[in-house]
């Protein structure tokens, strides 16, 4: 499938989400990384078209209807460059930004136990925010080719608790597709990618490019992520992460 066909399919999927659920209870899980920024941009475009009448989707009107809701997990150990891009784009793109933070005591041992850390700093705040915002549909930027656990995911993924639907509009995009779409659509990206990072997680669990080459060789897109954390992505998914 060509890049244009993948973009068209993603937009059609998002138009269906909008027609079925309306704009108010749909949120984008936005990390500030390239994949979820593309998902946010596509959703923002669909909302804009609906307000202008270009998409044929009814039930969206006014400035508030065109403002996408984005849910960001701020673990307290994200790269400042990612957070700066998040804050700047939220203003420039008119995004309603909800920042979910973990409820952990001071001095929490970040990354000492990676499973517990991801559960406390990512999964728990995510599920609390979905519940608090009454989210019916959570759009994500996950892709099949970035991790074996995501290879067989459905595009529409029901979640039991709290009850909501996860929709993955760029699931069938490759890493190169995302970059090609980013360039084609003129989207901004975090400066860390220009320094050699290919995947951006929390700072303690993301090796710098020079460390990745020295420790693990070229590897895949997520080779710079902590190997033990990557190995338990299926367990984190079972707990409620995407």
In terms of pLDDT, which residue wins out, 41 or 216?
41
DSSP readout, 56-98?
---S--HHHHT--EEEEE--S-B-HHHHHHHHHHHHHTT-EEE
Q: Looking at the domain assignment, is residue 97 inside a domain?
A: yes
- Nearby residues of 225 by Cβ (< 8 Å), 6 or more positions away: 199, 201, 205, 206, 207
Would you state the pLDDT for residue 235?
Answer: 83
Q: Looking at the domain assignment, is residue 51 inside a domain?
A: yes
Average pLDDT over residues 104-124: 93
- The CATH number given to whatever domain includes residue 137 is 3.40.50.620
Average pLDDT over residues 115-142: 96
Summarize pLDDT for 146-171 with one digit per residue, the tens. 988 898 999 999 999 999 999 999 99
Length of the chain: 242
Provide the domain count of the chain. Answer: 1
Structural domain boundaries, residue 100: 3-193
Q: Looking at the domain assignment, is residue 176 inside a domain?
A: yes
Other CB atoms within a 10 A radius of the CB of residue 107 amount to: 6
Q: Looking at the domain assignment, is residue 60 inside a domain?
A: yes
Q: Looking at the domain assignment, is residue 175 inside a domain?
A: yes
Average pLDDT over residues 70-76: 97
Other CB atoms within a 10 A radius of the CB of residue 169 amount to: 27
**Helices (DSSP H) in the chain: which residue ranges?**
3-21, 34-52, 62-65, 80-92, 114-118, 124-132, 175-184, 191-194, 209-216, 227-231, 233-239
Check: CB of residue 40 under 8 Å from CB of residue 68: yes
Q: Looking at the domain assignment, is residue 210 inside a domain?
A: no
Q: Looking at the domain assignment, is residue 219 inside a domain?
A: no
The residue to which tokens 């996860």 are assigned: 166
Q: Looking at the domain assignment, is residue 233 inside a domain?
A: no
Would you state the pLDDT for residue 62?
Answer: 53
């Amino acid at each position: 499938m060509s890049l244009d066909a993948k973009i068209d399919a993603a937009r059609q999927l998002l138009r269906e989400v909008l027609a079925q659920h309306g704009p108010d209870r749909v949120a984008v899980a936005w990390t500030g990384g390239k994949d979820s920024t593309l998902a946010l941009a596509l959703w923002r475009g669909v909302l804009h078209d609906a307000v202008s009448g270009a998409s044929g989707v009814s039930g969206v009107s006014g400035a508030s209807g065109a403002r996408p809701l984005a849910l960001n997990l701020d673990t307290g150990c994200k790269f400042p460059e990612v957070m700066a891009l998040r804050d700047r784009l939220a203003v420039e793109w008119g995004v309603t930004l909800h920042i979910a933070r973990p409820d952990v005591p001071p001095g929490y041992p970040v990354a000492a136990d990676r499973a517990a850390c991801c559960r406390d700093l990512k999964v728990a705040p995510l599920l609390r925010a979905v519940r608090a915002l009454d989210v019916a549909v959570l759009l994500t930027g996950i892709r099949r080719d970035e991790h074996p656990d995501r290879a067989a995911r459905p595009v529409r993924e029901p979640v039991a608790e709290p009850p909501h639907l996860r929709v993955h509009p760029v699931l069938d995009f490759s890493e190169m597709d995302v970059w090609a779409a980013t360039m084609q659509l003129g989207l901004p990206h975090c400066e860390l990618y220009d320094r050699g990072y290919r995947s951006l997680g929390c700072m303690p669990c993301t090796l710098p490019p020079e460390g990745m080459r020295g420790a693990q060789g070229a590897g895949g897109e997520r080779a710079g992520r902590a190997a033990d954390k990557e190995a338990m992505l299926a367990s984190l998914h079972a707990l409620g992460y995407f």
